[in-house]
Structure 1
Amino acid sequence: MAPQPQEDAAASFDPLRPKLVRVAYRMLGSVADAEDMVQEAFIRWMGADRQAVREPEAFLRRTVTRLCLDQLKSARRQRETYVGPWLPDPVVEEEEEEDVTLPLMLALERLSPLERAAFLLHDVFGLAFEEVATTIERDPAACRQLAARARGHVREARSRFQVDKKRGIELAEAFFAASRSGDMTALGAMLAADVSVHADGGGKRAAAGAPVFGVEAVIRLHSHLADLFRKNGSQLVRAGFINGLPGFISLEADGELQTTALDIVDGKIAAIYVVRNPDKLQHLN
């Protein structure tokens, strides 16, 4: 029996789904939104004349990218009213395999949607500018300019992670132990002088309403938090790589998960990124 159209669509689409989700997530910084965009692309794929499509992967990547460009417009409006610092949804890996680290994703937030698309498609996913041009409906010369502007903004963020992977996990585990036990001497020894803390609670869980800067302020913050950890408990679920940075997942006293990612430069923790917003952690449960 010949396959039904829906079955045929799924058979050609499903092997490409992980790649498409990677594109959408890097465009949007949201796992749920990325999955929604990819599902919308699948619905369009079911309705397309698939026999006329010579390169399904290129066709679907264009579809997903264009859907994401539209989504970014509404996402930016939502970010304007977001409570406290915004961080991308954490993606956790056992090994460091991330081609777009968390600092780079934050740098991408400062780009226009078209700059972001041109940079990701060319510099991260390796597409020729002719393909980028077809995808975002601009000419190749304009795409080169978009990618060049984006590159200038994100150059520093791309090269920040400078620590051996094993050493990165050791630092993450040592950070968890010191921050939960209240050993501020050990904690302070790990921190860069200009360290910063960025905590995303989204207004749904307690978190600092603005980033905290400087080693003294960060130690004061963690001294206060350590009292709460000792009183209420905090359990290490596992260490790993979060958006390309060493970090860990923890289970906190309210029964909710939390992720902590550490940007390490020259052997010191330069930035601490904590995601507490439960909406951004559902995919980890």
Structure 2
Amino acid sequence: MNNSFGMIADIQRCSTHDGPGIRTTVFLKGCNLRCAWCHNPETVDSREEWMYYPEKCIGCGLCSEGCYSGAKVLCGRKMTVEEVIRTVKLDEPYYSGGGGMTISGGEPLLQPEFTYRLLEAAKNCGIHAAIETNLTLPWKTAEPIAELCDLVMMDIKLWQADLHRKWTGGDNRNVLAGLKELSARKKPVIVRTPVIPTVNDRVEEISCIAEFAAGFDNVLYYELLPYHPLGQSKQLKEGAFKPEIFEKPDNSTMLKLASAARSYGIKVLVAGKEMRDIMDYNPKKESGWIE
């Protein structure tokens, strides 16, 4: 097995939020965007860094010897493809319902060789392989990786190019062109948009994205992801990227946006829930949903 190294932020086992079925999600470090609402700021920097959780600190004063309470955690370590796949395979018994491995980030396309080799290893083991990507890098970088994927989950965060640059720091031309390339190769795709109040929570903005996505037969569905201030709980070193704080979108906003998107004939989900369940959305609840 290839021993190329990747910089890993975390491996989350038995996840149900990063693709179909039960997934093992491999979070890579390094991102080319700076989304104002980022909920994984610890994956932005490609280097290892310390994360701090002040609420866990017990004031023992032994930080230099190692944190015993979990208030100080090192994020980022180099792992080989073999090491990662060994962890992924621990969850293999749970994949029978359509699960598998998802490579996320950060942006996996910033570690193209490692991402390719990891996907290749998963495929050789018969494991369903997916990727979560902002797809802003040139297609020549994305193409070999996309060819190996069983599923591509891509974000169209904003339709208007100027707003995309303002709120993410990057261009969206490659994103839109990338979906066309994926369609030409009949690669299964899930298009997603994080819904951020005051940024893109407008019917006009979501409608443009939904209409565009609806024009491709390979798009399985369009998913709206309500903003959650998860990134605010992750304290990094001084000077590290820190996301802004936004309000959570309310139920009526999500319902309005989902209904507008659905009018274009595309299947619409809100945080994994289909239209008939959207009225159960409760942004005041920790998970956002009434179980």
- What band does the TM-score fall into relative to the shorter chain? under 0.3
Larger radius of gyration: 1
How high is the TM-score relative to the length of structure 2? 0.22
Compare the two structures and name the one with the higher strand fraction: 2
Compare the two structures and name the one with the higher helix fraction: 1
